[in-house]
Amino acid sequence: MKRIETIRSALALAGLAGLLTIFGGAVRAEEPASSRIAGDFGPPQGEAIHAVLASPPNVPPPIHRSYPAKIIVELEVLEKEMPISEGVTYTFWTFGGTVPGSFIRVRQGDTVEFHLKNNPANKMPHNIDLHGVSGPGGGAASSFTAPGHESRFTFKALNEGVYVYHCATAPVGMHVANGMYGLLLVEPPQGLPAVDHEYYVMQGDFYTTGKYREKGLQPFDMARAIEERPTYVLFNGAEGALTGDRALVAKTNESVRIYVGNGGPNLVSSFHIIGAIFDRVRFEGGSNVQENVQTTLIPAGGAAVVEFRPRVPGSYVLVDHSIFRAFNKGALAILKVDGPENKSIYSGKELDAVYLGDRSQPNLSAVSAAAHAASGGVLTVKEQIEAGKALFQGTCSVCHQPDGAGMEGVFPPLAGSDFLAANPRQAIQILLQGRKGKITVNGKTYDSVMPPMSQLNDDEIANILTYVLNSWGNPGGHIDMDEVRKMRAALAKPAGSASE
Amino acid sequence: MALPSRRALAAACGLAALCVCVPLYAAPYTTVPGGLFRGVLTGNEDPPSPVARFSMRVTPVTNAEYLAFVQRVPRWRRGAVPILFADSDYLRACAGPTELGDAVSPEAPVTGVSWFAARAFCEDEGARLPTWLEWEYVAAADATRTDARSDPAWRARILAWYASSAEANKQRVGGEPNAYGVKDMHGLIWEWVEDFNALLVDADSRVQGDAEKLRFCGAGAITMKDRESYAILMRIALLSSMNAAGSTTTLGFRCARPLPETAP
Amino acid sequence: MTLCRLETVIRRWFAVTLMLLAACAAAAPPPSAELPPDSIYQLDIALQDQEGRSFHLAELRGTVYVVSMFYSSCQYACPTTIETVKHTLAQLPESRRGHARALMVSFDPKRDTVPVLERVAQEHGLDPQTWTLARTDEASARKLAAVLGVQYRALPDGDFNHNTRLLLIDRDGRIAGQTERIGKVEPTFVDRLRELAP
């Protein structure tokens, strides 16, 4: 009896297994071939949708759609001269007129019909490589477009994530260095969790023949680019792009999500927000999430998504924590958070001038104004003073204090300084060469070291000194850019040669 | 007979008129001596390419010259040319088929012309387009040297032009001559060459050396001998993005004539 | 001669002239003003085929053509191209085979002389009823290539860098299809060919 029972059970089991196999097989056989590729949800449905693109730092609205659609993206390349810093311009090559280029937002499984237009006023041919495309060159092979023409190619967004796109026309490094990059977001089918603010920030390195903040139209410097010696490292293509009245904004306790890209061409970013901890980071823009992160690495040609909730009001500074880039090349942006204080979380004072440098003031428009006037030959002392004041903060004020009072026994005062009044022109030499050894100012002796301010340009020295001479009881007058230039040249002559 | 016959007088006037008018139409060409040249398309293991002596127009063809051409040769007027030879962008900046208009300066280089149109103009004056090699050979010169390519300043000057905005319609021809006496090789416009479709750039220029034998038979597309020749690379990129009936607002041309070899 | 006889002679002469004119009009190719504006037959190109016959490109009007360019010393892509064209034409049903022909133009006229073209034709078993291998002058080859989107560059050793392209030309010389794929027959190209050669 038992044996029969066992056999029956075995048979039943076998039969069940067989049935399962058959059914399982049948189910598999009925699946359409396309859904065997992950991310392919079948052919597009419904009407074709014209994609709404957005200019940085904004992003298009989240997608509320439950089916794959055909998305038509039209993106135009524009070569245009724009400010890269105050009084400094650069000829950028842009997708959509901005650096970074327009933000593109689609849903996983969408069929994207991409139209790339090259404005007829442009000089160069361009194409596009979207890292979110599975296909030769990411689209670059199909989109090589001469000025005045348009190309078109279609791809299916199989993978969700945030992807860099950039121009890949020879010489590729130059096209990227001139600002031809942006981000494509492919949302997962269920969408992303809602947040209060979404922002778009992209870092890039820039290479000019002139020095940092040297005024005028600066050409691209290929040699520096090859040597990876940028002049500027910037968020969103310009100093001040995201500071002052263009800072990102949020309120305390609101959720903030930033899609952070790195166009390169060369540098990796150590992305950090001073004063914030990232609750969640989709590092590399991929599917894995890291939590409680201070600084995240964003590769050149890569991206990440950071999310956090600022708890107290103030200015949160976005930097590349390779810190010289932030303070000497411009890799600095601000998220301004308003709202009630919460002393239990943070009782300290507002972010110091030290950190923000000259960016602690709303913006450096006075510097732009002075540069513009100078180029037209009509610079007034008043304009010099305004520009000099803006530059003084964070450069000189760190030691000499914002009111010129100096620090007792350490840094001499600038306010009402008899040392300055005796020989105002020696200040030029001090800024150019630095000063060490004993000096007496207003009856007190100082024996410190002041480093040469070699990062300052001639016009900046002239404006800063003009400001100092006209502030805090100093005798007034003004210093000319030409005077600084002559002295710089004279000081550069080897010792023993005739001086002016 | 005291007075010359009317017929003789008329003939004399005609001859005089011809003597005045022909020089006005004769475009200045200058002789470019031959030589050996290592261009960007010369392979690393190959010997330098010989460039035979030829003559080249001193400046690019101007709007005024091209206008005179279409006035004489109606089948090359905008609207008359079949689309096989010039598409809808042909001479778009001009006010009319035989009219420049205010936006177009007569002494600026003509742009918006297709490869076929440029060839037709050159054939009309007994010339042809320069080959890429001839063009590159002359373009390598600066004001004092016939080959300035190793000078970073030469490269930087050219790259600086690429960085500026396209203002070709307004700028006159006639800059400083280079060591060959040719002007405006850089800084005004891109220029058509006879063999523009020999430049075989893969549209995705990162695939250098990719073994796509079937696509570019003969061991791949452009192998840039000197990848630092970005100035030249960009010219190749622009030309290879064009098709023969197409044109663009910054692309013009000049003509060249082969010359008999000088006796040794 | 009497007036009547003169009249008869004149009339006869007139009639003959009219007939001759009519015959010429019928035999001559239609005036180029009637070619569509994108027809490649607007190119004024003189060629020679593998049997030494001279002809103008425009004379090919009236038949559907599969066109490509090549050079005889090409080791890899060009033989494959010829075979691909063969297989493409073979996709037409037996009854329609005669309705489409093939034209291969050399961009190496210096070395691809008439005897060389003939040799290539024989090596591949190319029936002259269907196949024309042709050569022309260098400038004309460049013009034809420009119109067809064929790119080629002569290398110092006499070899060539070139892309590969098959063009489908309709009866009036318009480009009706193209493919860069060789080694395999391109289905959409074949579909277009079938449409054009019913």
User: A282-335 pLDDT, tens per residue?
Assistant: 999 888 999 999 999 999 999 999 999 999 998 899 999 999 998 889 999 999
Query: pLDDT tier at A396 (50, 70, 90 boundaries)?
Result: confident
Instruction: Report the SS3 class of residue A33.
Output: helix
Query: Average pLDDT, stretch A89-105?
Result: 96
Residue of B nearest to C180 (CA): B215
Residue of A nearest to B238 (CA): A125
Residue B202's nearest CA partner among A131, A170, A172, A138 is A170
Q: Say whether pLDDT at B224 is over 50.
A: no
Lowest mean pLDDT among A162-171, A259-268, B223-232: B223-232
DSSP label at residue A484: H
Enumerate residue ranges in chain C where pLDDT < 50.
24-30, 32
Residue that has been written with the tokens 């952070």 in this structure: A260
**What tokens appear for B186 in the block?**
């850089």
Lowest mean pLDDT among A91-100, A258-267, C22-31, C139-148: C22-31
- Give the C-alpha separation, B30 to B56, whole Å: 6
Phi, psi of C145 (to 5 degrees): -60, -40
- Give the C-alpha separation, A256 to A196, whole Å: 6
List all chains that touch chain A, counting a touch as 3 or more CB pairs closer than 8 Å: B
Q: Which residue has the higher pLDDT, A17 or B93?
A: B93
pLDDT tens by residue, A22-54: 444 443 444 444 446 888 889 999 999 999 999
- Give the C-alpha separation, B147 to B131, whole Å: 18
Q: In this structure, what is the dihedral angle of CA atoms C58, C59, C61, C64, given to the nearest 10 degrees?
A: -110
Please tell me the predicted confidence (pLDDT) of residue A431: 93
Instruction: Report the SS3 class of residue B95.
Output: coil
Please tell me the predicted confidence (pLDDT) of residue B211: 37
Contact B194 C152 (CB under 8 A): no
- Closest Cα of chain C to B191: distance in Å? 16
Phi, psi of B162 (to 5 degrees): -60, -30
What is the percent of chain A where pLDDT is above 70? 87
B-chain CB neighbours of A222 within 8 Å are 155-156, 159, 228, 230
Residue B167's nearest CA partner among B247, B89, B111 is B111
How many other C-beta atoms are found inside a 10 Å radius of the C-beta of residue A438? 8
Lowest mean pLDDT among A347-356, B236-245, C171-180: A347-356
- Give the C-alpha separation, A109 to A156, whole Å: 6
Residue A430's nearest CA partner among A402, A458, A450, A407 is A450
Instruction: Report the SS3 class of residue C172.
Output: coil
Query: Average pLDDT, stretch A167-178?
Result: 89
Query: pLDDT tier at B225 (50, 70, 90 boundaries)?
Result: very low
Phi, psi of A317 (to 5 degrees): -100, 120
- Give the C-alpha separation, C164 to C80, whole Å: 10
Please tell me the predicted confidence (pLDDT) of residue A360: 54
List the end-to-end C-alpha distance of chain B, in Å, as a whole number.
54
Please tell me the predicted confidence (pLDDT) of residue B214: 40
**What tokens appear for A297 in the block?**
């690495």
Contact C42 B221 (CB under 8 A): no
pLDDT tens by residue, A440-464: 999 999 988 888 888 889 999 999 9
Please tell me the predicted confidence (pLDDT) of residue A79: 94
Query: pLDDT tier at B126 (50, 70, 90 boundaries)?
Result: very high
Please tell me the predicted confidence (pLDDT) of residue A287: 86
List the end-to-end C-alpha distance of chain C, in Å, as a whole number.
60
- Give the C-alpha separation, C7 to C116, whole Å: 59
| B152 reaches A (C-beta below 8 A) | yes
CB-based contact A244:A273 (threshold 8 Å): no
Please tell me the predicted confidence (pLDDT) of residue A416: 92
Instruction: Report the SS3 class of residue A74.
Output: strand
CA distances from C16 to C12, C23, C137 (A): 6, 10, 40
Residue of B nearest to A151 (CA): B241
Strands (E), A119-255: 129-130, 150-156, 161-166, 181-187, 197-206, 216-218, 232-235, 248-251
DSSP label at residue C37: T
Residue C144's nearest CA partner among C88, C106, C179, C180 is C106
Please tell me the predicted confidence (pLDDT) of residue A30: 40
Contact A143 B203 (CB under 8 A): yes
Q: Say whether pLDDT at A200 is over 70.
A: yes
DSSP label at residue A16: H
* Average model confidence (pLDDT) across chain B: 81
Interior/surface letters B172-184, b for 16+ CB within 10 angstroms, e for the rest = ebeeebbebebbb
Q: Which amino acid is at B148?
A: A
* Average model confidence (pLDDT) across chain A: 87
Window B:201-230, CB contacts with C under 8 Å: 213-221
Please tell me the predicted confidence (pLDDT) of residue B223: 46
Residue A305's nearest CA partner among A156, A192, A138, A206 is A192
Please tell me the predicted confidence (pLDDT) of residue C112: 94
ipTM above 0.95, yes or no: no
Interior/surface letters C46-69, b for 16+ CB within 10 angstroms, e for the rest = ebbbbeeeeeebbebbeebbbbbb
Question: A and C: touch, per 3+ CB pairs < 8 A?
Answer: no
Q: Say whether pLDDT at A486 is over 50.
A: yes
| B246 reaches A (C-beta below 8 A) | yes
- Closest Cα of chain B to A289: distance in Å? 32
- By CB atoms closer than 10 A (0-12, 13-18, 19+), residue A70 is middle
CB-based contact A427:A483 (threshold 8 Å): no
A-chain CB neighbours of B151 within 8 Å are none
Which residues pair with residue B29 across a beta bridge? Answer: B57
Residue that has been written with the tokens 């050219």 in this structure: B158
Q: Which residues contact C146 (CB under 8 A, 6 or more apart)?
A: B115, B116, B196, B197, B243, B244
Residue that has been written with the tokens 């959720």 in this structure: A255
Query: pLDDT tier at A466 (50, 70, 90 boundaries)?
Result: very high
- By CB atoms closer than 10 A (0-12, 13-18, 19+), residue C5 is exposed
pLDDT tens by residue, B173-183: 988 999 999 99
CA distances from C81 to A284, B264, C134 (A): 45, 46, 15
CB-nearest partner of B237 from A81, A170, A223: A170
Residue that has been written with the tokens 């290592």 in this structure: B38
Please tell me the predicted confidence (pLDDT) of residue A356: 61
Q: In this structure, what is the dihedral angle of CA atoms B160, B161, B164, B166, given to the nearest 10 degrees?
A: -170
Query: Average pLDDT, stretch B139-155?
Result: 88
Lowest mean pLDDT among A203-217, A308-322, A350-364: A350-364
Which residues pair with residue A217 across a beta bridge? Answer: A89
List all chains that touch chain B, counting a touch as 3 or more CB pairs closer than 8 Å: A, C
CB-nearest partner of B234 from A141, A171, A219: A171
- State which H helix or E strand residue B153 sits in: helix B152-163
- Closest Cα of chain C to B113: distance in Å? 15
Query: pLDDT tier at B202 (50, 70, 90 boundaries)?
Result: low
Residue that has been written with the tokens 């199909």 in this structure: A142
Residue C152's nearest CA partner among A421, A305, B132, B164 is B132
Residue B59's nearest CA partner among B263, B255, B257, B260 is B255
- By CB atoms closer than 10 A (0-12, 13-18, 19+), residue A25 is exposed
B-chain CB neighbours of C35 within 8 Å are 82
CB-based contact A77:A126 (threshold 8 Å): yes
| C83 reaches B (C-beta below 8 A) | no
Pairing type for strands A295-298 and C175-179 reads unpaired
Instruction: Report the SS3 class of residue C66.
Output: strand
Q: Which amino acid is at A454?
A: S
Q: Say whether pLDDT at B259 is over 50.
A: yes
CB-based contact A138:A144 (threshold 8 Å): no
CB-based contact A203:A261 (threshold 8 Å): yes
Contact B198 C152 (CB under 8 A): yes
Contact C146 B214 (CB under 8 A): no
What proportions of chain A, in percent to the nearest 5, are helix, strand and coil? 30, 30, 40
Residue that has been written with the tokens 């030691």 in this structure: A399
Pairing type for strands A435-441 and A444-450 reads antiparallel
pLDDT tens by residue, A112-151: 999 999 998 888 899 999 988 877 777 776 778 888 889 9
**What tokens appear for B15 in the block?**
């001859």
Q: Which amino acid is at A408?
A: E
List all chains that touch chain C, counting a touch as 3 or more CB pairs closer than 8 Å: B
- Give the C-alpha separation, A491 to A453, whole Å: 14
CB-nearest partner of B249 from A120, A142, A174: A120
pLDDT tens by residue, B184-198: 998 889 999 999 988
Please tell me the predicted confidence (pLDDT) of residue C2: 58
| B64 reaches A (C-beta below 8 A) | no
| B117 reaches C (C-beta below 8 A) | no
How many other C-beta atoms are found inside a 10 Å radius of the C-beta of residue C181? 15
B-chain CB neighbours of A146 within 8 Å are 238, 241-242, 246, 248
CB-nearest partner of A123 from B156, B236, B250: B250
Cα torsion angle, B89, B95, B97, B98, sign: negative
Which residues pair with residue A164 across a beta bridge? Answer: A183
Q: Say whether pLDDT at A489 is over 80.
A: yes
Window A:44-103, CB contacts with B under 8 Å: 79-81, 91
Q: Say whether pLDDT at A386 is over 60.
A: yes
- Give the C-alpha separation, B208 to C3, whole Å: 86
- State which H helix or E strand residue A426 sits in: helix A426-433
